[in-house]
A and B are shown apart, each in its own frame.
Chain A
Amino acid sequence: MKKVLGNIFMAIIYFILYLPLIVMLIFSFNAGRSTSVFKGFSFKWYAELFTNSAEVGVPVRNTLILAVLSAVIATVIGTAAAVYIYYVRSKAWKNTLNTVTNIPMMNPDIVTGVSLMLLFVFVGRLVGALNSLNFFTLLIAHITFNIPYVILNVLPKLNQTDPHLAEAAQDLGSTPTEAFFRVVLPAIMSGVTSGFMMAFTLSLDDFVISYYTTGTDFQTLPLFVFNMVKKPVRPHIYALYSIIFLLVLVVLLFTNISGMKEKREKH
């Protein structure tokens, strides 16, 4: 009895969680223009997405460029930072680093966005630039909020590895640099990868921080969607996100299956 109640409760929560997704999927196939009244099944919004590709194509491309660039740079800097933090022995300095790293994660996005924007505007005024916000300020902002998540993923991996791994490699004749790339990096690679993935998806999804730090010449998908709704929402955006949903689902299935395989091999 208790079990049944629990299951019903869970079903209701899941239903609410997925209701907007279902609505989105259904209305992406709507024959009419409305997103409230279903006029019949049609692929026309998907077709429009591809024939009229410039409108959403540019923001999609921009979003991907930004996500890849910011995730790659954040992964490099963040991994190096994690290794550095791992070896820092001074407690006070380590605490300071950890606290600063936590700031972008704990601060509300709006404060992070506003504070970075003010920095860019401030520096822009100093150098006399007319327009202080552009693609690069957006990229910097994304790297800034991505690095902590990379560190968050890499540091625990470092803590799990044998503390003497790097020393062992040096003991066997590797220079410290070689020891890092041949031994330490492979040992923490899973953390680096998951850090990269997290940074990539956070960057794809980010709206609030981008909203404050981008210039007029560079629009990402979330910004495009936000601005668009000043006009009525049209089903082709639902169509676009339905495709994205499908992609996310495929990636998820893929990683889960490969994750299960890995687990099986370990046993």
Chain B
Amino acid sequence: MNHEKNIIELKNITVRFDGETVLDNLNLTIRDGEFVTLLGSSGCGKTTTLRIIAGFLEPDEGEVFFDSKNMNGVPAHKREVNTIFQRYALFPHYNVYDNVAYGLKVRHVPKDEIRERVMEMLRLVNLEGFAKRSVAKLSGGQQQRVAIARALVLKPKVLLLDEPLSALDAKLRKDMQVELRNIQQATGITFIFVTHDQEEALSMSDTVVVMNEGRVQQIGAPEDIYNEPQNAFVADFIGESNILDGIMKEDFTAQFSGHTFRCVDRGFAPGEAVDIVVRPEDVDIVKPEDGMLKGTVTSVTFLGVHYEIIVDIGGFKWMIQTTDYAGVGETVGLSIDPDAIHVMKKSKYSGLYGDYSTFSDEMEEMNQMSEELAEEYAEELAAERTEEAGDGAEEAGK
């Protein structure tokens, strides 16, 4: 593996359906041997991107390069990438062995070699004893392993994973995250992983690509994405954030919430309006007289490792995660270190996020559930729509 080599390049990719843009001038470079995650919510275009790489979709505009070779017009079965599908798409009429052997058989690999490689693969995914088992009788996790074995046995240069963990329960999901990461490191194959789960993205990847509305919002290492979000969308999508309107007085000095703070950012025009992001765990609760800001606690939730405390300061509800307890109604001071203050240029996402005044645990939970459902549906819909555009035009011509 060669981390300096670009294995996949997407240049100015645009995909439209009925005038609706699914991917908007997308540029993406993926280095050899990386674990890259495309992260975003429903309809952000992450699955469409994956399908373009796999060859199931052709972009309206732009070019796809593998190893600097233009792949436009090359059909899926001639591309050296393999895909793990969301619901695995195992072949129901074959047993585990024949599923894994499928790609080798299609390539007319000698029988002995097929046997050897399939068994080796089954060992790798811990399914040695399951060769003759019908895939319908496997658990979700086992089916997942078969799908991985079926793809990896072909030694692809790139493995595409389309939300492969979304059908598993929470515990199994954690295990599979570790296992996938191990497999990726052991084989050195480039993984392109699609998910809407930010925790999954942060814990597994070398590089995270945050997408929204068909555009890349930020590309970077998980730490950079979390610590230095480029705009309010990324800040809100990755982790919890307090996002406030502020003004950059001068380099290293920002003003928000009626107070002037020292910070570590520079390069803004003096007096420029900016978005300020402060992570809830970066705020310390201190005595009112020691705090830079003062406010009243409006809610306290015990979450095991820490408390989640909402503090009202001038009408803005701050979310704070701390191990220190403060009672509801208490007046407390807030203290923020300079390096905990992230200053971002104003973007189209400014003002959309950040206040917790309507926040409640129950709502968050409900939103998460419906979001996951909507996500699955919308992704499929978006993919279908892009295909439909072709069909629709054709049918209209009839």
Interfacial residues, chain A to chain B (CB-CB below 8 A): 87-90, 92-93, 161-165, 167-176, 178-179, 182-183, 186-187, 189, 266
Contact = CB atoms under 8 A, between A and B. Distances in A.
Contacts of A92: 395
Nearest to B391: A89
B82 interface: yes
A90 B395 CA distance: 8
21 contacts: A89-B384, A89-B385, A89-B387, A89-B391, A90-B388, A90-B391, A93-B391, A162-B85, A162-B89, A162-B90, A164-B87, A170-B77, A171-B76, A171-B151, A172-B77, A172-B82, A172-B103, A172-B150, A172-B154, A187-B93, A266-B136
Among B54, B86, B91, B93, residue most surrounded by chain A Cβ atoms (within 10 Å):
B91
Nearest to A179: B77
Contact of A167 (B89, B92, B102, B380): B89
Contact of A164 (B89, B92, B136, B154): B89
A173 B106 contact: yes
Given A171-B81, A189-B93, 14 more contacts: A87-B391, A89-B387, A92-B395, A93-B395, A165-B89, A167-B54, A167-B56, A168-B89, A168-B91, A171-B54, A172-B103, A172-B150, A174-B77, A186-B93
B154 A187 contact: no
Nearest to A89: B388
B392 A89 contact: yes
A162 B147 CA distance: 13
B75 interface: yes
Contact of B77 (A89, A175, A187, A266): A175
Interface residues of chain A: helix, strand, loop or mixed (majority): helix
A98 B90 CA distance: 29
A171 B106 CA distance: 11
B106 A172 contact: yes
Given A90-B391, A172-B106, A162 B88 contact: yes
B83 interface: yes
B85 A168 contact: yes
Contacts of A178: 106
Interface string B376-398: 00001000110110011001100
B171 interface: no
B89 A170 contact: no
A88 B391 contact: yes
Contacts of A93: 391, 395
A70 B203 CA distance: 60
A178 B78 CA distance: 13
A107 B306 CA distance: 70
A163 B87 CA distance: 9
Contacts of A174: 77, 106
Contacts of B396: 90
A89 B154 CA distance: 32
Contacts of B93: 186-187, 189
B254 to A, nearest CB: 49
A170 B75 contact: yes
B259 interface: no
A167 B85 contact: yes
Nearest to A265: B134
B107 interface: yes
